[in-house]
Amino acid sequence: MALDILNNSLLNLPQWLLVVVIAWTLVWKGFALWRAAKLSHKIWFVIILVINTLGILEILYLFLFSKLDLKKYEEKGAGKSGRKRNSRH
């Protein structure tokens, strides 16, 4: 029934193509969610879970953003603001 509803939509795509697109998206989303959870990237986890981009955001996260050391950038930002506060007082 669900495939009938999708098949009658404006896109009118073949069912095999829908199955391929859904499988493609689920595989990349699964890997990206797993990595985000493993690295404790809570914001990325929610973004990847909610936004559907046919795997594009998930692939970017896996191969680009998950490799960045976010703690390194957070520590630099906190260190700079901490120095400014101390110098004012």
Distance CA 68, CA 83 (A): 25
- Are the CB atoms for 55 and 28 separated by under 8 Å? yes
Distance CA 37, CA 9 (A): 35
Q: Is the pTM of this model over 0.75?
A: no
Kindly state the average pLDDT of the residues 44-70.
88
Residue 13: its pLDDT value, please?
77
Structure-block tokens of residue 65:
């953003």
Residue 23: its pLDDT value, please?
94
**Backbone dihedral region for residue 52 (phi beyond 0: left; psi -120 to 50: alpha; all else: beta):** beta
